[in-house]
Structures are given as structure tokens and as C-alpha cells.
Structure 1
Amino acid sequence: MAQPPRNETKSSGQRRRWIDILGLFGLGIVIVGAIALVKQVGIEQIRTNVHELGIWAPFALLLLRSVSIVIPAIPSTAYSVLAGALFGFWHGIMVIAIADFAACSGNFYIAKRYGRGIVQRLVGQRFMGKVDSLASNYLENNPFLVAGFLMTGLFDFVCYAVGLTQMQWGKFIPALILGILISTPPIVALGAGIFSQGKLLLGFALLGMFALAVLAAWLNRKHNKNGGKPS
């Protein structure tokens, strides 16, 4: 099969980087806006209102987070920050971990059971190229690499992509659990640390997010180096 021109591959990589940068910038705006809103209303007042909702508050957040994973065009990271702010560190982790496990398993099942057509309908034509690229990018026989990608902002696409390969549940589920256990605490801690004035939690969150950013950059370079082809 003919290889794409070098300049075209480089241009595609640059576009992806700019999209990632704009995505992070947009996420930053959302987080800053949320912080400003919470500061104005008062986190204790918000938590009191949430507490009055009982089980429906975490259930609603769990549902919103799950939908944002099944339909990746909807930003999902903000829900992890919100979970930490509203429910605290450990309860927030529990809500996000349950949502991520259920939704990511659902993505994998949908791709495995119904194939590329339904995945394209859910992610949209614009993002289908990212799914195809990940699916052909040496993930099938490397659960540890799958776990690494699941720790990045591409995790929802990765679940669809791996579902389109021959990887079976027995390899996917441990990779998913490992990805959730490592990537969830720093982001939830960010919300819990900011709004609870927890300097230790905030420091942990920043260090954890820095480590995840380094991992994402390394995986992105590896991905681009292989050109989306199996190694």
C-alpha cells in the first residue's frame, strides 16, 4: 500500500497537536469558569444543595460522565473535577471510577459487537480517523500500551478503537482497571484540593496531571512515529 507523502503526514501531525492544544485551552476555560462560579455562590452552599438531592446527585453526575464517554464529542474531564469539588476526594473517585468502568466497557462492547459503522455514528465522521488510527496502532497485542493510552484524554476513543481489533475482554478489562486507578485520582484531587483549600491534595493533583501529560506526550510521539501502522 502506498505511503502518504511525508509533508502530508507532518501536516496531519501538526493539526492534531493544534487540536489537542485548543482542547486543553477550552478545558482550562471551563475549569476557570467553574471555579469562578463556585467561588461566587459558595462551595458549602452548593454542597448543601447537592447533599439534599441524596443519591440523585452522584447518580446524575455518573450519568453525565458516562454519556460524555460514549459520545466523545462531549468534554468529560470537567466532570472529574466537579466530582472532587462536590463529593470530596474518595467519594468523587468512586463516582468517576464506576462511570468510567461502565461507559468504557460499553464503548468496547459496542465496537466489538456492532463494528465500525455504529462507532462512526457515535463519534462522528470528524473523529473517526482518530479511532481508525488508534485501532491500527499496535494496540491489539499490547495491553500495557492500551492501559497507557487509557490514562490520556483519548481514553474514550481508545475503548472504541481496541474494540475494533481482535483484543478480547480478558486483556481489555485489566488494562481498563489499571488506567482508571492511575488516571482518576489526580484529576478528582484537583477539584477536591481547589475547593477545600487542601494544599496536599492540590500538590498531588498537579504532580499527577504533569505525569499524565508527560505520558500522553510520549504516547503521541510514539503514535506519530509509527504513522498509525502496526509496529
Structure 2
Amino acid sequence: MSLPAVFTPRALWYTGTAFGENWRRRRVAAQAAQAVRAFFIDLWRRLRRKIAAMVPLVLGAAAFALVLAGVIYVLSPLLPEEYRAVLQLIHEGDWEASRLTLSELFDGYGPAKAWIFVGLQMLQVLFAPVPGQLVGLLGGYLFGFWHGLLLTMAGLVAGSLLAMLLGRWLGERLVRRAVPKPVLEKFDYLVTQGGLWNFFMLYLLPALPDDALCFVAGLTRWPIVQLLAVSAAGRLPGMAVLVYVGASVGSGGRGAQAVLACAMLLAAALWLYSEEAESYFYRLSRRGAPGSPRR
């Protein structure tokens, strides 16, 4: 009596092999789906934690920005007609027209336009509602990449220093006397718990009120020198991208939007995985410390 063809050893071997291959594929697919699900769950938890940790700082910076916006609104009639026209264009969201108008104004200053630009960047920090992104783009458009980046950072550092000193002076005389002590203790705890790394990430991320944050930083107990270094380091990558975009627009280059988008994605990724980045840079810095083991 002969076995049916489906029960022959060769047929059984093929059937078992096909079944095993199908099972392995399903297992790999299930593991991949589980990994993707775990990734998005972890991403959502990180996002919630990051936003919750930075809400007090962002709200404080936004409050300063609103106050300074009111000051600008009150004092704007005292400005020259040309600058009022630029502010009106910015308010209307006409960035291209405001950039061209500012470019014409600076060309009229001749050799002194570099110093005027540094002064404008300083004022942009002190009057936080004025968008620093526009000034960074203008620096690249007027002076090219390297010269524009140098002037932009010089104005940012000087303006940030004045804002931090002003925030500390006002904080000691007004804020810390007017705000209840439990609220101040909670604010100090949140800032101290996050450390300078929290400020660095806020300065690094785009679309946050980092100029107004300088006033909030002045309210903390951190030394001004350390806060200024963190501010400069956090702003440098974003400003480099903006100056590059401005220089590319001025020279007719392409790819500036792609560079800007990549920089924003990189900043967002670094923000979400800041603990891992902080740990990595800490280990990296410890390697060069005296007495640290070398690999």
C-alpha cells in the first residue's frame, strides 16, 4: 500500500519548511509591530514629560514678551518713520517686504552699517517681541555667512547680557518682593531641578521665546557668566542656519529651506532625547578629565 503524494517524506519536508518560514515571518512582523508601538508610546511619554517640565519657563518668557510688546506699542510713535514702517510690515507678516526695507535702510549707513546691525540685534533681544529670526536672516543677506554670523552672535551675546542683568535687577527689587514666597520656591525648584541643560534646550529649540527667556534666566540663582555661555551655545546652531539661509537668499543659492528643515528636525530630536544626549556628552567630557580611564 503506497502513501498519498501529500504524505511522502519529501512533501512533508516541503510542508514543514513552508510552515516554519511562514511562522518566522509572522513572528518577525509581530516583533516589528511591537517595536513600533513601543517607540511611539515612549515618544508620547517623552513629549508629555518635556512639555510639562518646560511650561513654567515658557509661560514666564511669554509673560515678559507680552509686557515688552505693550512697551513697544506705547513707544512706537516716537520711532522714526522708516522704522515704524518696518514694524508695521512685521506686524502684517510681510517678511519679504520688511527684509528689503531693512536692507535699504542699512545700505544708507555706509561703513557704519555693521555697528548699526549689532545694535539692532541687541535691541531685538531687549524688545523680545521683535522676531530675532528676521534679524538673523538679514545678517546673512547683508554681510554673508561668516561675517553675518559673527555680527549676529555679537549682538545676541551683548543683548542677552543686558537682558539677564536687567532681569536680575528687576527680580531682586520687584518680582521677588511682589510674588509670594511659595511660588518663587517652586520656580527655583523647577529651574534647579532642570539645571542649565533645561535652559540650553530652550535656547536650542526653534520657535520659542528665547529672547524673553533671558529675562527669566536673570531671575534664577545661576551665575550670569554660565547663563550667558549656555545662551550663546544654544543659539549658535539655529542662528548659523538662519544666517546661512539669509546668505543663500542674497546670493541666489538653493537648498536653504532643506537646511532649515533638517536643523529643526535635529533640534526636536535632541530635545526629545536630551537625557541620552546629556549622558553621552557627560561621558565624553569625562574621558578628557584628569585621572579618567581612557579607552
1:181-227 deviation per Cα after TM superposition (whole angstroms, max 9, x unaligned): 222101111111122122255532332244446668999xxxxxxxx
Q: How does 1:33-182 map to 2 (within 5 A)?
A: 33-34=97-98, 38=100, 53-115=109-171, 138-140=190-192, 142-152=195-205, 153-182=208-237
Give the Cα–Cα distance (whole angstroms) in 2 for the partners of residues 104 and 182 of structure 1.
16
The equivalent residue for 1:124 is none
1:52-78 per-residue CA deviation (whole Å, 9 max, x = no partner) reads 744411211221221121121333321
Aligned equivalents of 1:164, 1:84: Cα separation in 2: 33
Contact in 1 for aligned 2:160/2:228 (Cα 8 Å): no
Whole-angstrom CA distance in 1 between matches of 2:111 and 2:218: 32
Q: Give 1:150's aligned amino acid.
A: Y
State the percentage of identical aligned residues: 17
Is this contact kept in 2: 1:85–1:191, CA < 8 A? yes
Maintained 8 Å contact 1:111/1:118 = no
Counterpart Cα distance in 2 of 1:202 and 1:27: 23
Does the 8 A contact of 2:204 with 2:235 survive in 1? yes
Aligned length: 178
CA distance in 2 between counterparts of 1:72 and 1:201 reads: 25
Q: Cα–Cα, structure 1 residues 213 and 167, in superposed 2: closer, same or farther, change >3 Å?
A: same
Larger Rg, first or second structure (1 or 2): 2
* Residues 154/50 of structure 1: CA separation in 2 closer, same or farther (3 Å cut): closer
State the Cα distance separating 1:81 from its structure 2 match: 0.7
> Alpha carbons of 1:106 and 1:137: their partners in 2 closer, same or farther (altered >3 Å)?
farther
Given the two structures, how large is their TM-score scaled by the length of structure 2? 0.49
Contact 2:139 2:152 in 1 (8 A): yes
Q: In 1, distance between residues paired with 2:97 and 2:164? A: 33
Q: Secondary structure at the residue paired with 1:208?
A: helix
Residues 85 and 214 (structure 1), Cα distance of their counterparts in 2 relative to 1, 3 Å cut: farther
Alignment of 1:146-225 (within 5 A): 146-152=199-205, 153-212=208-267
- Give how far 1:180 is off: 2.6
Structure 1 unaligned regions, length at least 5: 1-12, 20-25, 120-131, 220-231
Considering only aligned residues, what root-mean-square deviation do their CA atoms show, in Å?
A: 3.8
More deviation in 199-208 or 81-90?
A: 199-208
Q: Which runs of 5+ in 2 are unaligned?
A: 1-54, 63-89, 176-183, 275-295
SS at 1:115 equivalent:
helix
- Contact (CA 8 Å) 2:218, 2:224: kept in 1 or not? no
Instruction: Tell me how far apart the structure 2 counterparts of residues 77 and 200 of structure 1 sit (CA, whole Å).
Output: 18
Aligned residue type for 2:143: F
SS for the counterpart of 1:204 is helix
Task: Write the distance in 2 (CA, Å) between the matches of 1:144 and 1:28.
Answer: 35
Secondary structure class of the residue paired with 1:139: helix
Alignment of 1:12-51 (within 5 A): 29-34=93-98, 38=100
